[in-house]
Amino acid sequence: MRYKKIPAELFIKNRSQFAEKMDNNSVAIFNSNDLMPKNADQNLPFFQNSDLFYLSGIDQEESLLMIVKKESSIGSYLFLRETNDLIKVWEGEKLDKNNATSISGIKNVYWDKSFEKVLNKFVSDCSVIYLNSNEHPRAEIIVETRDARFEKWIKKKFPNKKYKKSTDILYPLRAIKDDLEIELIKTACDITADGVKRVLSFLRPGVMEYEIEAEIAHEFIKSGSRGFAYDPIIASGQNSCVLHYNNNNKVCASGDIVLMDFGAEYSNYCSDLTRCFPVSGRFSNRQRQVYNSVLRVMKSAKKMLCPGLGLKEYEINVGKLMEKELVDLQLISLKDIKNQEDLPAYKKYYMHGTSHHLGLDVHDVSGSNQPLQPGMVLTCEPGIYIPEEGFGIRLENDIVIGHNENIDLMSKIPIETEEIEEILNN
C-alpha cells in the first residue's frame, strides 16, 4: 500500500459499533472483492470491498471477516490467503498474521483454509447470520460477486438459520465519519487541490483533454495516491454538457470551457471535485453569467446542509434556487414553471441531484432516509448545461457537516471567476 498505516483503533471502533447493533447469538460475514480477470493471464487492478475495509483495514484479495456476537461476548475472526514460495516469487509477500493483527486490531487471524471449520463452530450455536451485499440504491449488479456466491453456499449449507442484511446496520454507521476518516478524506482533497494547481499552469488552447488527465494523474500518483477515485471527466466545449463524459479525447479549443470532474483516492477514501476553466484564460460574458449563477446556487446550497435536514427536502429547496437563476438567464420562463407537470421545468438544464455522501465510495452509502448528522461528508455540485450554446457549468466541493458550522474541504481551491482568470493569465 502507498498510504501511511491507519491506526487500528479506527477499525476496532467500527467493529464495536457494528457488533453493538447485531442480534445476540449471531454471526456476520464479510468477503473481499474478487480479483477480476482482464484477458489471457491478466487481472484488473484489485480494489477492496469497502465494507470489509471499513471493519478491518485489510486491503488484500481473498480475505474474509467474521464477527460473532454471543450473549456475553463479541469476537472478530480474520481469514487470509496464505503465502507460499510460488506466490512470493510472482506476487511478493502477502500479509502474515502479525501484520494483519497490527492493521486490523484482530487477534484471531487464520489462513483461509481454516474458515469452514471455524464457521461450523460458531454457526451451530447462532440463530442469525448477517450477510453482506451491495445495497446502494443506484447499484446495477451485473457480475456475480464473491458475497453473492457465498450467500448461495451458506444458505444451502445452513438452510434453517435466519438471515439478515448487514447493510441495515452498516450503512447508517458508515455515513457518519470518524475524525480520522475525515482527515483521510481531507488528504485526498489536498492531493486533488495539487492536481488543480497543475492544470491551471498547463491549460491552453490546443491541448488534448487526455493531456490534462495525464497531468492530474502525475500529480496524484507522486503524492501517494493510487490515482483517480473514479474515471475522470475532462470535457471541453460541447462535451461539458455530457454528464458522464469520459472519452477525454478532444482538443481544448480557444473560447471553450473545459469542465473537469475528478478526485484523488487516498487510503481507499475518495474526494470529488468539479471545476470549469476557460481554455483561453478569459470567460466570455455569457459563460461568466452562467458560471456565476451556478456559483450562487452552490454557495446557498452549502449553507442549507445542516443537521436534521433530509436530502429530499434539500433537493427541493435547491431546485427553487435553480429555477430563479434559469429564469434570470432566460433559459426558462415563469410560464414554463407554471405549466410544469411531473418533471420540474429547471430539469431541462439541471438534470442531476446536488449532493451525495462521500467516503470509501465516491457515491457513499447511508441509511435509507437518514437525516444529515454531524460527521457526514457530502458533495455540493449544482450545474447548468446548455447544449444549444455549446457549454455546461458544474461546480463541486466536499463538505463536512458540523454541529454549528460546516467545513468545506476544498475551500482553498480557486472557484471565483476573477481568481481563475488571474491565475490562468499569470
Supply the pLDDT for residue 2: 82
Phi, psi values for residue 198, rounded to 5°: -65, -40
CA distance 155 to 408: 45
Contact 254, 284 (CB under 8 A): no
Paired with 134 in beta bridges are: none
The residue type at 249: N
Give the per-residue pLDDT at 195: 98
Please report the pLDDT score of residue 15 as a whole number.
98
With cell 484477458, the residue in question is 39
Q: For 348-372, how does the pLDDT look when each residue is reduced to its tens digit (9 = 90+)?
A: 999 999 999 999 999 999 999 999 9
Domains and CATH numbers, the chain: 8-172 (3.40.350.10), 179-424 (3.90.230.10)
Sign of the C-alpha dihedral, residues 348, 350, 356, 358? Answer: positive
Q: Which residues of the chain have pLDDT under 50?
A: none
pLDDT computed for residue 90 by the predictor: 81
Long-range contacts of 72-77 (CB under 8 A, 24+ apart): 74/16, 74/19, 75/108, 76/15, 76/104, 76/106, 76/108, 77/106, 77/108, 77/109, 77/110, 77/118
Alpha-carbon span 319 to 360, nearest angstrom:
28
Closest CA to 248 of 273, 227, 281, 217: 217
Amino acid 330 reads Q
**What's the CA gap between 186 and 271, in Å, rounded?**
8
End-to-end CA distance of the chain: 38
* pTM metric for this prediction: 0.96
Encode pLDDT of 196-206 as tens digits: 999 999 999 99
pLDDT of residue 317: 98
What is the predicted pLDDT for the residue at 1? 73
